[in-house]
Amino acid sequence: MDVTNRIEQALTDAIGLAAVTGCPPRLAEAMRYAVFPRGARVRPRLCHSVAAACGEDNPAATAAAGAALELMHCASLVHDDLPCFDGAATRRGRPSVHKAFGEPLAVLTGDALIVLAFQTIARVNCAPDRLAALTMTIGQAVGVPFGIVAGQAWECESEINLAHYHRSKTGALFVAATAAGAASAGADPEPWRMVGEKIGEAYQVADDLRDAAADEDEIGKPVGQDVANGRPSAVTELGIDGAIFRLQGLVRGAIEAMPPCENGHELRSLIMSEAKRLVPAKLAQSAA
Amino acid sequence: MDVTNRIEQALTDAIGLAAVTGCPPRLAEAMRYAVFPRGARVRPRLCHSVAAACGEDNPAATAAAGAALELMHCASLVHDDLPCFDGAATRRGRPSVHKAFGEPLAVLTGDALIVLAFQTIARVNCAPDRLAALTMTIGQAVGVPFGIVAGQAWECESEINLAHYHRSKTGALFVAATAAGAASAGADPEPWRMVGEKIGEAYQVADDLRDAAADEDEIGKPVGQDVANGRPSAVTELGIDGAIFRLQGLVRGAIEAMPPCENGHELRSLIMSEAKRLVPAKLAQSAA
């Protein structure tokens, strides 16, 4: 089975836990709706590539770790879309969960997906010390003090710490994706964190570039939002060319940060192809 | 250290994870506010008593399990109080979290507490197979298909399954409290589930009795809500005397369901004293 199918299968298996008699059927439906159809599945793909680089020996553990990362990502989207945050009416071209199922079920869907991520890891048959490493890695990426929930909470402070904000809100799940990939293969996750950190920053810069220079059709959401909302952005800070230069440096940095490993070519190509995919078409030439 | 202090210390240690530079300070404050000052800590006390009954050999594991149960309970109260659910303005005689900190932070506080519960278990130094058992037990009690989140979600269905509703919304954390107490001591959690189930039902009946027959001063919240809202209740179903009889049967059943264990007297006294504590004063004589 290729990686795409492994990722979808693992998510289908995880969500299947809700598809039993005795589980409220609309909650089960809302959870499925929040996770399918698939997005880019960036974090699980990264996790799988790192596991392969580390000589993956327990594919079920990799798949569970990848699914847990994606479930956490989906949970954060559901809660971030709530009226008390972004109040987003649509997500990926269709109604957001709270629009489709109501606000109470949106809150509960996010909660249930967070718990399901941990259940998914705990259910896998792996060496018990890997379970501890995976649970810690996923917990750190989502909770306090530096996970995505903490990142989102910076928006509720009167003074925002931008470095912590970005590192937590966007970076934490990328760091977890590389660390969990290593842990699921029984490798030491620590040296892989820096790789995830660079990749997370690269996505942030690419996102800023897309907001500044892509067409709305290309990225499927309104552009120019950073300037319109006075949000900090690599483009307003460095200009288009400067941001592209920064992106290239981060991509190179991510590859250079990879610790010695058996089988790193898949991860290297993933990083390179993502860097290409995410740069807006009209900038692709100057980025090449 | 006595059990009360052990429980508070474990919760203080857990919440301390948020009290570091780089964690958004208002999130840290809201999390602390949601957990302290203490409520009755019923679930961790039950967990500690079962661990003692099973010959507790790793006090840190018991304490972590107890803290995780209470963090989950507090998280559910924070989310249940949100305007899209009960919209409760007060909790334990002071503003609810969303009133004190705003709705966005209330959503994030609940999320962070759920994650913190799993982090708390994963950080404890215990035999790795206990970690798996504890993570599964806590996950089942909170998530899908039958945990407290699923229980709350029954309120969003057009047809409610009352048996599943009560078992999930109230019962699941009691079952987890007994199962986690056993698991933290390295005992088989399964035979302890029935004890938690009976105790959970007993609390439900006691709650119905208090709503029907206590004074508002005695229980610190409005009474007569079940009848006013047409909610199912053991008292409307069985009458006061019938409900007391039912409660007594459940208390006896919980004690009889205890599997053979080294040191069960503490748990037996806890069950008996709770049964007394929870019956409204004016009914205490007929219940004796």
Measured CA to CA, the distance from residue A66 to residue A44 in angstroms comes to 4
The answer to whether residue A32 neighbours chain B at the CB level (below 8 Å) is no
Cis peptide before A145 (omega within 30 of 0): yes
Share of chain B above pLDDT 70, in %: 98
Q: Does B126 touch chain A (CB under 8 A)?
A: no
A81-120 burial, b at 16+ Cβ within 10 Å, e below that, comes to bbbbbeebeebeeeebbbbbbebbbbbbbbbbbbbbbbbb
Q: What is the pLDDT of residue A280?
A: 82
Angstrom distance (rounded) from CA B151 to CA B167: 8
Cβ A45 vs Cβ A267: under 8 Å: no
Tokens of A194: 């820096």
Give percent of chain A above pLDDT 90: 76
How many alpha carbons lie under 13 Å from residue B7 in its C-beta half-sphere?
A: 23
Higher pLDDT, B224 or A155: A155
Nearby residues of B21 by Cβ (< 8 Å), 6 or more positions away: none
B171 interfacial to chain A (CB closer than 8 Å) = no
Chain B residues within 8 A of A119 when measuring between CB atoms:
135-136, 139-140, 143
Q: How far apart are alpha carbons B183 and B180 in whole angstroms?
A: 5
Torsion of the alpha carbons at B32, B35, B37 and B43, rounded to the nearest 10: -160
Amino acid in position A175: V
Task: Count other C-beta atoms under 10 Å from residue A53's C-beta.
Answer: 27
Residues of B in contact with A28 (CB under 8 A): 144-145
Q: Give the gap in angstroms from C-alpha B256 to the nearest C-alpha of chain A.
A: 27
Note whether A132 contacts B128, CB cutoff 8 Å: yes
Please report the pLDDT score of residue B217 as a whole number.
Answer: 75
Contact at CB, A145 and B20, closer than 8 angstroms: yes
**Alpha-carbon gap, residue A106 to A103, rounded angstroms:** 5
- Span B67-81, mean pLDDT? 97
Q: Do A144 and B111 touch (CB under 8 A)?
A: no
Closest CA to B220 of B72, B5, B40, B70: B40
For residue range A23-53, list pLDDT tens digits in order. 999 999 999 999 999 889 999 999 999 999 9
Mean pLDDT across chain B: 93
Across chain A, mean pLDDT equals 93
Residue A92, pLDDT score? 86
* Beta-carbon separation of B156 and A103 below 8 A: no
* pLDDT score for A287: 58
**pLDDT, tens digit (0-9, with 9 covering 90-100), for A211-229:** 898 877 777 777 888 888 7
Q: Which residues of chain A make contact with B24, given a CB cutoff of 8 A?
A: 150, 153-154, 156-157, 164
Q: Residue B287 pLDDT more than 80?
A: no
Please tell me the distance in Å from B135's CA to the nearest CA on chain A.
Answer: 6
Interface test with B, best of A32, A69, A118, A131 (most B CBs within 10 A): A118
Q: Using the beta-carbon criterion (under 8 Å), do B154 and A119 form an inter-chain contact?
A: no
* B residues 186..225 contacting A (CB < 8 A): none
Q: Are residues A153 and B22, on separate chains, in Cβ contact within 8 Å? A: no
Reply yes or no: is the peptide bond before residue B145 cis, omega within 30 of 0. yes
Residue A136 banded pLDDT, cuts 50, 70, 90: very high
The residue whose two tokens read 């005689």 is: B93
> A111-120, A225-234, B118-127: which range is least confident on average?
A225-234
Q: B88 — contact with chain A (CB < 8 Å)?
A: no
What integer pLDDT is reported at residue A285 of this predicted model?
Answer: 67
> Is A1-188 a CATH 1.10.600.10 domain?
yes
Least-confidence region, from A220-234, B47-61, B67-81, B231-245 = A220-234
> pLDDT tier at B58 (50, 70, 90 boundaries)?
very high
The pLDDT value recorded for residue A284 is 75
Please give the pLDDT value at position B286.
Answer: 63
Residues 6+ apart with CB under 8 A from B199: B46, B174, B178, B250, B254, B271, B274
List where CATH 1.10.600.10 sits in chain B. Answer: 1-161
Between residues A230 and A84, the one the model is more confident about: A84
For B200-259, how does the pLDDT look when each residue is reduced to its tens digit (9 = 90+)?
A: 999 999 989 988 988 777 777 778 888 887 777 899 889 999 999 999 999 999 999 999
Subunit contact A119:B140, Cβ cutoff 8 A? yes
Average pLDDT (B65-84) is 97
Dmax over CA atoms of chain A, in Å, equals 56
Of residues B135, B147, B144, B154, the one with CA closest to residue A19: B144
CB-based contact B15:B32 (threshold 8 Å): yes
Amino acid found at A86: D
* Residue A19: pLDDT band with limits 50, 70, 90: very high
Q: What is the pLDDT of residues B131-178, one digit of tens each?
A: 999 999 999 999 999 999 999 999 999 988 888 888 999 899 999 999
Interval B82-91 mean pLDDT: 93
A161 touches chain B (CB under 8 A): yes
Contact A135 B142 (CB under 8 A): no
Residue A205: pLDDT band with limits 50, 70, 90: very high
Asked if pLDDT for residue A286 goes beyond 70, the answer is: no
Binary contact (A144, B115; C-beta < 8 A):
yes
CATH topology of domain B1-161: Farnesyl Diphosphate Synthase (1.10.600)
For the record, the structure tokens of A164 come out as 């912590």
Residues of chain A with CATH 1.10.600.10: 1-188
93-112 in chain A: CB under 8 A from chain B: 101-105, 107-108, 110-112
Write b or e for each residue in B85-120: b if 16 or more Cβ atoms lie within 10 A of its Cβ, otherwise e: beebeebeeeebbbbbbebbbbbbbbbbbbbbbbbb
